[in-house]
Structures are given as C-alpha cells and as structure tokens.
Structure 1
Amino acid sequence: MSAVLDAPASDIAAELRQRFADAAPRPQPTFDGIPTLWVEASQLLAVLRHLKHGVVQPYLLLFDLTAIDERVRVHRDGQPASDFTVVYHLISLARNSDIRIKVALRGPAPSLPSITALWRNADWYEREVWDLFGIRFDGHPHLVRIMMPRTWEGHPLRKDHYARATEAERFGMDEAGMDREQAALKIDPAEWGMQTDGGDHDFMILNLGPNHPSVHGVFRIMLQLDGEEVVEAVPDIGYHHRGAEKMGERQSWHSYIPYTDRIDYLGGVMNNLPYLMAIEKMAGITVPARAQTIRVMLCEFFRITSHLLFYGTYAQDVGSMSPVFYMFVDRQKAYDVIEAITGFRMHPAWFRIGGVAADLPQGWERLVREFLDWMPKRLRDYEKMALKNTILRKRSIGIGAYDADEAIEWGVTGPNLRATGLAWDLRKARPYSGYENFDFEIPTGNNGDVYDRCLVRVEEIRQSLRIIEQCLKHMPSGDYKARHPLTTPPVKERTMQDIDTLIHHFLGVSWGPVMPPGETFGMVEGTKGLNGYYLVSDGGTGSYRTRIRTPSFPHLQQIPAMARGFMVADLIAIIASIDFVMADVDR
C-alpha cells in the first residue's frame, strides 16, 4: 500500500502555500491521508495562528502535540533533515477534518516558541515533550518535568536513553539520595502561583492525594483554599507513568497488543482497536465484515462496563453509597459474556492485526441476549435510585459547567464534550469498523455541568445496548480474520495445512510482521473520548515511534478552570464527573 494524500490535504495545503508564499509548507504523504505539512520554525506561530483564526471553519482543537527523535531513523525520503521533529495535530470539528503540522529541529538542545498563548491545553503537552525529549518551548509559563521526577537525568524518549532497566547501571540509593528524593516531592506554593497570605487572613495550602479515594488513582491536586472555597487548583500527574510509548519501541507490532489494554484499563479491547486500525492502514489490510462486527460488539460491551463503573463511583462520590454495589453486579454479568467470547475479562488483548483472535464460540447468542434482557430494567431502577435523587441533583446541577467553545479550547472530547450540547461522535462523524451500518443516537446534554456529564453516559449505555442487539441480529458470516500475508497470526485453521501459512505464523509471532516505512494514525471514540495511536514505521518488525493520544490527559488539565470558586465538596463531584483513569493520563 502506498502512502496517500486526500483531497482536503490538497485544499488546505494550497491555501497555506498561497498565504505563506515565501516559506510554503511542504506536504508529506502518509498512510492515513491526514494533511501533513512541514513548516519552518520561524513560520510556526503564524501558520498555527492562521489555522485557528484565519481559515473558514478553523482548526480550533489542538488534538495532540508530540515529538519524534529522528537521529537513527533510516527511511525519511522526501522529509527535511531533522534530529528531532515536533508534531502538531489539529482538528476542525466544523469541517470534520484534521491537519498535521511538523517542524524539523537540529542539534542536541533544540527549541521552538511556545503555543500556550494560542491553545490553553498546549501547557501540559509542551511540558511532556520537554520532559521526554528535551525540546524547549520558549515562552512557556512553567516548563518543568511532568511525567518524570524532578531529579531524573536525561529524556527517556530519546533514542540514546535506555529502554530496559537491565541496560542501566545497578540501582542504589543511600540515605542522602533518599533525602534528596523526598525533598523533591515537596511543593513550593509560590512556584505554582499559589499564596498563603490573603491580606486580612491566611489561605490554606492543601494536598488532595496522591493517595485519596476521591482522586480515582495516584493523582494529586494542590489546593489553595479560602476556608472551603477553591482559590487555585494545580493538578500533579506522573505517579502512574510506566513508559508505555517507550515500550512500543522494543516490542514487535504483534506483541505490543497486550500493552494497549493497560492504557484505559476500563476500555479493554477498545484500546486495541485504534492501534490495530493504524497498523492495518500501513499494511493495506481489509478487515472482514464479520471481524469488524465482532470488534464493534466487544467495544460496546466495554463501553457499558466502563460507564457503569463511572456511574456507580460518581454516585458514591456525591453521597449515594448503594448504586455502585448493584452496578458491579451488572459489570460482572457483562464480563461473563466477554470472558465466554475472549477467554479473559478486563484485559483480553483479543483483537489481532487483521481481525480477532478466534471466531465466536457456540452459545454466544444466548449469553448476549440474556444480558440485553437484563440491563434495561436495571437502568430504570438506577434512574430512580440516583439520577432522581434530590441530594445527587443538588450536588451536581450547575457545578463545574463549561460550554462547547471552552471544551474545545481545552481539548475535551467524548461524553464530556457532548454534555455541552455538541453532538459530535467519531462513530457517526467518521464511521470506522462498520459503525455506518448501525442505527444509534448521539446523546447530548444542555448545560455542560457535572449532572449532564452523567446523563450523557447513562444514555450512551442504552445506545450501546442498541448496537449490541444489532450485532446479535445481523452478525455477518465469513472470516474472523483477514487472509492478507501481514495478518498476525494467520487464520489458525490454515496454520497446520500449508507451509506458507506456517512460515508466516512463525515469523509474525516470533519476530513480528515487517511493515512498510511511513506514518499513520488510528482513532476511535473511546470510553472517555477520542483515543488514538500515531505510529511511525522504519520498515521493521516494530514501531520506530509509538505515540498514544489519550482523552484523560487533556481532561485533567481543565480541572483548575472548572474548580475555581467552588467548594472542596464540589471539586470532588467535578473530579468524579470527568471519568478518567491515571494509566490513561500517564501512560
């Protein structure tokens, strides 16, 4: 399969060439067809400003900002000379179109101007690139490490940084080292714009977390409080960072699949899908209709289990203790179906390059039907128990509200965006895996507050049940996996029948399939928002660069804007309504 440029790429490229004639952006073909343009560092701010404010139906959403260490990459035909590349991924929801802007940088200590004045959510993205790649952003308000400890030496996503602990020197820490690490964990409120002196009274500086049940993981928020009112809130992440992107550089395309399950660990196989969709674009694999429908059905099961956990813990956080226990019963029933089909529950890692691991087992229809018959009545009970509960409504309605424009400015997607009234769902806007064949609605809210964020997810459970029922009634026949030579592993029934298939099985599983050089991106409507994988192949058996764009990362960055002026108890409700997991944030 050759890399392609689609029609929108030509349109926006022509517009930018005309606007910046003296330093025209250079297009780059990609497997995903997203308009990909190289611009000069001196023109970066002007180009991005034009895309956000100067074009019709502008690119208002800064979807991602990352980097590539190019220094040992072999296949860069037609690309500018570069030691490091910074990549900006923008989305225009109005025109339903993406654009990728790339900047080539040279030298061991490269730098670029910060775009935090253009997009508020660029703050954390630039800190992450500085932390992991050592690329400075001039003008950034507070360029400090975000994933790694302050005491860390080096930048882990550089190619010269070790990937395994066995490649590093033997670890040891004396008492002085322990004292230094403990001191580095202490906060200086002034560094984060917080103050203790309120003139006629003092402010309190309070750490919420990193070990506190209401923050749903190892996550800290530093609070400046005036009594119980939140004056300032500063989220602090990185406690759950495991180097998932670095791991992608040392695994084969096939063996990395289980790692994807652990990102949004409540999304199960839905995490496999964007990764595999990206690979399948590179390989030119067409997934059979039966495999696509099986993928959709399993993804919607995991959407239900994730939303049920959100629903129960959200109700618990605002004072209703009972629902979470009932909802865990429902989740176990859903997991019974998932386990019967995949053999596992939370982390099946069951999708494969080209399809799924196995065909549906005998009796799957009965199990799915029993769950579809069970769940609607339970949702009606929960509506009486939780959504109509007076205390829950008083603690939720009008709290932590924002509109669609604010959501887009912060990079918010998924149910949290739809709660503002904007009916944008990737499954409808850009159907993938056969979603265009399903009849379902896009639930939206009105006020964009804590309560609406819950309402949207509850209705999404009902819509997922509709989709699963259509899968049950209209499951196509045929292969559960493509018969393309790069499908990994090949269809099991053929493995012991002919030598060609046996060879492909051995090579694909032991070494990994060889993907053609190039870049690609896969994206899905995940449980918490848009979830995507940006992959760079250098023509080998594994990824040269694996970028995981998760929804939870930008969502947490919005907490200060939502929390100011509210009480601490309101902040707990706000945190609960975001619906995040820290593995999805830190990776």
Structure 2
Amino acid sequence: RGTSHQTPDLFGNRSRNIWRKPQPKVTFNDSVVELRKALQEKFGEQVIYDEQAADMPTLQAASGQLPELLKFLKEDAPSRFRRLEDVTAVDERSRCKRPEQDFTLVYHLVNFDDPGYLRIKVPLAGEFPEAVSATDVFPVADWYEREVYDMFGIGFRGHPDLRRILMPESWPGHPLRKDHPSRATEMDPYTLQTASDLAPMMGDRILPFGDADDGSMILNLGPHHPGTHGVLRLILKMHGEEIADLDADIGYHHRGAEKIGERQHWSQFIPYTDRIDYLSGVQNNLAYLHSLETMLGLEPPSRAVYTRVMLCELFRIANHLVWLGTFAHDVGAMTPVFYCFESREKIFDIIELVTGGRMHPSWFRIGGLPKDLPEGWKARVDAFTVDFDRRIDELDKMLTDGPIFRVRTEGNGVVSLDQAIEWGMSGPNLRACGFSWDLRRSMPYSGYDKFDFEVATASGGDSFARYLVRLEELRQSLRIVKQAAREMPAGRWMADDYRFAYPQRQDGLHDIESLIHHFVNVSSGPCPPAGECYRATESSKGECGYYLVSDAGSSAYRLRIRTPSFAHMQMVRQMSQGGLLADLITILGSIDFVLADLDR
C-alpha cells in the first residue's frame, strides 16, 4: 500500500476528496471555563487555547513555557491535573495541509477531581529539534520522553538519562518519522552480521559500577527467565541478596504496532489490537474503537453495547485467572494455576461459540459487531456464571490466609497513593493504594453506566493489596456478565451509519446502497474527518488509551497506543530498591504486565 516513506496515497485514491461532516465536538466539563480564566491571568498570550479542539480542551505552548505550565496545571490550577497520562509526538511533514512546525509534542493529562482530559501541544521546528524535559514536574515523563527520542529523534534538554528505550542503540534512524521505511523490503537484508551488530548492551554499561569497589555485582535477570513472564531483561546491581539498583532493557517484543497502524486502513487495524495485551482479547478492540467512534460521532446500538460489555468482562475474568494462577506460582503455590486455567478454558468455549476465536477473536467492528449472537449463547454463559463464584471462593481460601503467601506479599513492593499518581499507575495497581478510580465509573463509556457493580479497592499499596483488588474484580466482573446476559436487548447489532460501519449482511443483500458502502469500507476503508481523539478504557491491567490523528484519509496519520504496562514497569525500580532478589519476582508478578503490551 502506497510508498514506504509516507502515508498511503494510491493512484486514483479519492478518499480525501469525499465530503464528510467535521469531527463532532463533545461537551467539555464546566471547570474548563475557570481553567481558561486562570491560564489567561497566569500566562496571557503565552498559552493559546485551541477553539477548534473537538475531543478535549487543548492548549498550545512553546517548549520553554512547558515546565511552568505543567507545574501550574498539576499544583495550582482551579481543578488540578495530577497525572501525566502520556507523552508522544507527531511528524507533521507529510500532512496534506502542512503546518508551520515540523513536529508536534503532545501531552495528555488527567483530572481526578473533575474527571476529564487535557491536551498540551508543543510545536517544534527543525530536522532534529529539542524540547525541555518535563521530568522535574512529572517523573513518569522519563520513559515517555526516551520513547519520543527513540522513535522521532527529538531531544529533551534536562532529561536525566536520554537514550533509546525500544530500539537497539545501533539502529539507524527513528522509526516513527515519516521518512523512515515501513517495510522490511525497503531495508537492508537481515544477516548474521546484522544480528551481531544488534547484540544487547552489557549490563555494566547500563548500570556502571563507578570508581568505588564496594563488593557489588551486576546480575542479568532475563530475557529468558520464567519470572519475567516474557522477553524482559532486568539489570540488577546487587549487594549480596539486596537490590541496590535496577534498570530495565525492554524492546525485545517490539513489533512496530504504531507504525503498522499508519499503513492499514481504519478497519484493517482491529486484528492488530488483539496482539497488544494478548491476554485481554476484545478489550483491546474496544480501547481502539472507543477513540475512533468518538472521533466519528458513531453510536453503536444497544445490543452491540451490551454484547461488548459482556465479552470484555469475560476477558477481564480470563486475564485475572491467568494472573492469579501465575502469581501464586511465582510465590510458591502450585495448585491455583490448575484451577484458574480450567475456568479460563470454559470462558474460551463461550468466546469461541460467539466469535469463532478464542484468545484473539478480533470481533468488534466500527459501529458494532460483525454478526448477531449465535443460538445457544445465553445457555452457555449461564452455565459458566451459575457456579463460578464458588471457584472464586476456592481460590480465596487457597491463598488469602496462607501464611507463606501473606509473608511473601504483605509489605512487599509498597507504593503510596502519591507515588502511584506521580508515576502514572492505573487500574488495579492504583486502586490497591485505596483510590477508587475506575474509568467504567469515573468516565463511563460503552454503556457501563447502566450496570450495577462496585469499584474494587484495597489499602496498603503492596503486593497483597494488588492481589485483593484483582480477586474482588473477579466477583464484580462476574456480576456484570450476569447482568449483561440477563438484560441483553433485542434489535440491531450494527450502527446504520454505513459511511463508516460495515452493513449488516441482510442489508447488503437487499439494497444496492448498503452493498456499495460494504465494498468501499472493506476495500479502501472508511474516511473519518480530519481531527484527533484520545480516549482510554479500563482494561484488565489498567488504562489502555489510543490517540488517533486523522488527515481525512482512509488510515491513521498517527496512531499512538498508551498501555498500562509501560507506566507500571517504569515503577519497578522504585518498588524493588532495597529489597531482596526473591521479592523482585513477587513484585513483577503483582503488577500484572504483558511484554506485548509493554513493547508494542
């Protein structure tokens, strides 16, 4: 599709000439009015409010102004934005209507008091521009800025450790720039010499010993250690059994998912999302479609909404069962993993009946679902839900009061609430610090406001608290699945706006307009209006968000995936310093990460 150096522009492609409505503007929180007044008083014309922003309030500021602006928003704004959600960039040089800047830095912030997002854009000019680091205000910006440097070649003045994070040090170029090849056929052949050039960096270069000989040693944990749950390499500086320092060498599972998203049309990318957090199945589909459907102004019908919720919660249960079984195994309990995987297979039998797939069904579509629920679906769901609560109780009895389990997890990997917010934690790991923040409740999406469930929380912020939260989430997800199955509405399973959605099959068989839309949407893909949207969902491991930028074409101009595992892995250093090597395995297991989610 297209050339290797720019977004697809096939001969005869008329997608950008198609008339479409502008991106619909969502209603912003009332607190935005007070925020604008405060910004005007504090910064005057140095910070510009974007009146055209459609998905969230958006500000524009110069790079030098950024640290002061972020500090004001975090500490002094009328309604504070306490968490930095994400940092990324956009290469503007291949736009249809190119702006003055060459690159744009994009910061997304979260407001917990008046739930909502805020975007800050920083325009940059030049081939390899430099911005001011935000790490002094938001420590979580460390890895995000390293990723922007790695993928775009943008420097950050004042960053404490600016180096590549996903790509090897010897990698030529920066992959998410528009002038970097997308396909392997446009690059040099991968040979034995290439492999030797890409050898991992020695551990003592990542964590130098320094001048003093204090008896410490460097230990590599992974990338082939079962305790790392995938190809993760941790470099440990050890004093005996005690961890003095730690760094993570990630990227072994990097597959260029965001670059692929700029090559496939909007519908074609859906199957790729399943491979991000590969244990959460259709929850990945929903995260992507939440942003895309918001940008399109598309509302799926009620039957599709309830079906999506039911399947997402079944996958949340499946994810937590894998986590619970493997976490228990990490700390020495052998039996729970067999109980967990038996129940997980029953869930996959339901998924297979409904979708035809098991782990990666790729079953959600823009505007709804590809097919209606099959005959016999409810009986199969009821057969699982009728006694699964007893299985949860069995797991509870096996682990919760076990003396070895308690000793291995209580007081281990402790994170305070302030630290969790400062370092971008979300999902069960954040709620284990006593904070009742769940996007299904705080910023409802996909009909979750229609369901009755409790937000699971615990106190202590340690590995045991994280276990308690996920154990309770098994019960609450089961509760939601029962409601969705019991109250499943009748009617359509696909939106009737066929400019963007695949028509229901019977419609394509009976009228030519539906057939034409089906042909166009399958072949070249739907064409959203020019615009951008960021939304996140409460996925199994935390908040998973997609930032989509449309240039009015049939594929994303920029597709950014904000995964929970990336932020959580950055915290492992703080959680494990001063602890024992054996405790590190417990900490890694307790945060629930997946390498495909971490590396994308």
Q: Which of 62, 82, 87 lines up with 1:60 in the alignment?
A: 82
Which residue in 1 is equivalent to 2:4? none
Which residue in 1 is equivalent to 2:313? 300
Which residue in 2 is equivalent to 1:450? 463
- Asked whether the 8 Å contact 1:194–1:232 carries over to 2, the reply is no
Uncovered stretches (5+) of structure 2, i.e. residues with no partner: 1-20
C-alpha deviation, 1:14, in angstroms: 3.2
- Asked whether the 8 Å contact 1:8–1:35 carries over to 2, the reply is no
Structure 2 residue identity aligned to 1:23: Q
Whether 1:491 and 2:504 are equivalent positions in the alignment is yes
Uncovered stretches (5+) of structure 1, i.e. residues with no partner: none
Whether 1:50 and 2:72 are equivalent positions in the alignment is yes
- Asked whether the 8 Å contact 2:47–2:59 carries over to 1, the reply is no
Identical residues among aligned pairs (%): 49
Whether 1:476 and 2:489 are equivalent positions in the alignment is yes
Distance across 1 between alignment mates of 2:250 and 2:521: 37
- Asked whether the 8 Å contact 1:312–1:323 carries over to 2, the reply is yes
Q: Which of 20, 23, 48 lines up with 1:25 in the alignment?
A: 48
- Asked whether the 8 Å contact 1:254–1:488 carries over to 2, the reply is no
Distance across 2 between alignment mates of 1:13 and 1:130: 31
Distance across 2 between alignment mates of 1:22 and 1:291: 46
Whether 1:387 and 2:410 are equivalent positions in the alignment is no
Q: Which of 89, 113, 117 lines up with 2:136 in the alignment?
A: 117
Q: Which residues in structure 2 correspond to 1:122-201 (within 5 Å)? A: 122-174=141-193, 178-182=195-199, 184-189=200-205, 191-192=206-207, 194-195=209-210, 197-199=212-214
Distance across 1 between alignment mates of 2:264 and 2:456: 39
Structure 2 residue identity aligned to 1:476: P
Structure 1 residue identity aligned to 2:204: D
Structure 2 residue identity aligned to 1:186: M
- Asked whether the 8 Å contact 1:307–1:461 carries over to 2, the reply is yes
Q: Which of 86, 93, 99 lines up with 1:71 in the alignment?
A: 93
Which residue in 2 is equivalent to 1:335? 348
Distance across 2 between alignment mates of 1:487 and 1:396: 49
C-alpha deviation, 1:8, in angstroms: 4.2
Which residue in 1 is equivalent to 2:13? none
Distance across 1 between alignment mates of 2:213 and 2:485: 62
- Asked whether the 8 Å contact 1:219–1:236 carries over to 2, the reply is yes
Q: Which of 581, 585, 589 lines up with 1:568 in the alignment?
A: 581
C-alpha deviation, 1:400, in angstroms: 0.6
Which residue in 2 is equivalent to 1:426? 439
- Asked whether the 8 Å contact 1:401–1:447 carries over to 2, the reply is yes
Aligned residue for 1:185, secondary structure, equals: coil
- Asked whether the 8 Å contact 2:85–2:110 carries over to 1, the reply is yes
Structure 1 residue identity aligned to 2:535: G
Distance across 2 between alignment mates of 1:41 and 1:537: 24
Whether 1:288 and 2:310 are equivalent positions in the alignment is no
Distance across 2 between alignment mates of 1:311 and 1:305: 10
Aligned residue for 1:309, secondary structure, equals: helix
Which residue in 1 is equivalent to 2:8? none
Distance across 1 between alignment mates of 2:195 and 2:464: 44
Whether 1:261 and 2:261 are equivalent positions in the alignment is no
Question: 1:417-457 deviations in whole A, cap 9, x for unaligned?
Answer: 00010011000011111111100001111101000101100
C-alpha RMSD of the superposition: 1.5
- Asked whether the 8 Å contact 2:134–2:141 carries over to 1, the reply is yes
C-alpha deviation, 1:246, in angstroms: 0.1
C-alpha deviation, 1:180, in angstroms: 3.6
Distance across 2 between alignment mates of 1:503 and 1:435: 34
Distance across 1 between alignment mates of 2:150 and 2:437: 33
Whether 1:439 and 2:452 are equivalent positions in the alignment is yes
Q: Which residues in structure 2 correspond to 1:551-566 (within 5 Å)? A: 551-566=564-579
Number of corresponding residues: 577
Distance across 1 between alignment mates of 2:211 and 2:508: 69
- Asked whether the 8 Å contact 1:9–1:36 carries over to 2, the reply is no
Question: 1:189-231 deviations in whole A, cap 9, x for unaligned?
Answer: 4x535559554xx112100101100001100111111111111
C-alpha deviation, 1:487, in angstroms: 3.5
C-alpha deviation, 1:396, in angstroms: 0.4
Distance across 2 between alignment mates of 1:194 and 1:215: 24
- Asked whether the 8 Å contact 1:67–1:86 carries over to 2, the reply is yes
- Asked whether the 8 Å contact 1:318–1:573 carries over to 2, the reply is yes
CA spacing shift, 1:563–1:258, aligned 2, 3 Å: same
Aligned residue for 2:510, secondary structure, equals: coil
C-alpha deviation, 1:385, in angstroms: 1.2
Q: How does the TM-score come out when normalised to structure 1?
A: 0.96
Structure 1 residue identity aligned to 2:357: F
- Asked whether the 8 Å contact 1:13–1:25 carries over to 2, the reply is no
Which residue in 1 is equivalent to 2:14? none
Q: Which residues in structure 2 correspond to 1:502-517 (within 5 Å)? A: 502-517=515-530
Distance across 1 between alignment mates of 2:210 and 2:409: 29
Which residue in 2 is equivalent to 1:402? 415
C-alpha deviation, 1:15, in angstroms: 2.2
Aligned residue for 1:103, secondary structure, equals: strand
Structure 2 residue identity aligned to 1:188: D
Distance across 1 between alignment mates of 2:209 and 2:406: 32
- Asked whether the 8 Å contact 2:328–2:336 carries over to 1, the reply is yes
C-alpha deviation, 1:485, in angstroms: 1.9
C-alpha deviation, 1:98, in angstroms: 1.4
Aligned residue for 1:290, secondary structure, equals: helix
C-alpha deviation, 1:388, in angstroms: 1.9
- Asked whether the 8 Å contact 2:204–2:218 carries over to 1, the reply is no
Question: 1:322-341 deviations in whole A, cap 9, x for unaligned?
Answer: 11011100000011111111
Segments ≥4 residues shifted beyond 6 Å: none
**Farther-moved stretch of structure 1 (8-17 vs 120-129):** 8-17
C-alpha deviation, 1:28, in angstroms: 4.8
Distance across 2 between alignment mates of 1:192 and 1:16: 42
Structure 1 residue identity aligned to 2:207: W
Q: Which of 367, 370, 377 lines up with 1:354 in the alignment?
A: 367
- Asked whether the 8 Å contact 1:552–1:581 carries over to 2, the reply is yes
Aligned residue for 2:426, secondary structure, equals: coil
CA spacing shift, 1:349–1:396, aligned 2, 3 Å: same
Structure 1 residue identity aligned to 2:198: E
Distance across 2 between alignment mates of 1:537 and 1:479: 28
Whether 1:100 and 2:119 are equivalent positions in the alignment is yes
Which residue in 1 is equivalent to 2:15? none
Which residue in 1 is equivalent to 2:38? 15
- Asked whether the 8 Å contact 2:495–2:501 carries over to 1, the reply is no
C-alpha deviation, 1:390, in angstroms: 1.2
Q: How does the TM-score come out when normalised to structure 2?
A: 0.94
Distance across 2 between alignment mates of 1:397 and 1:458: 15
- Asked whether the 8 Å contact 2:207–2:235 carries over to 1, the reply is no
Question: 1:216-275 deviations in whole A, cap 9, x for unaligned?
Answer: 110011111111111111111111000000000000000000000000001100001121
- Asked whether the 8 Å contact 2:166–2:599 carries over to 1, the reply is yes
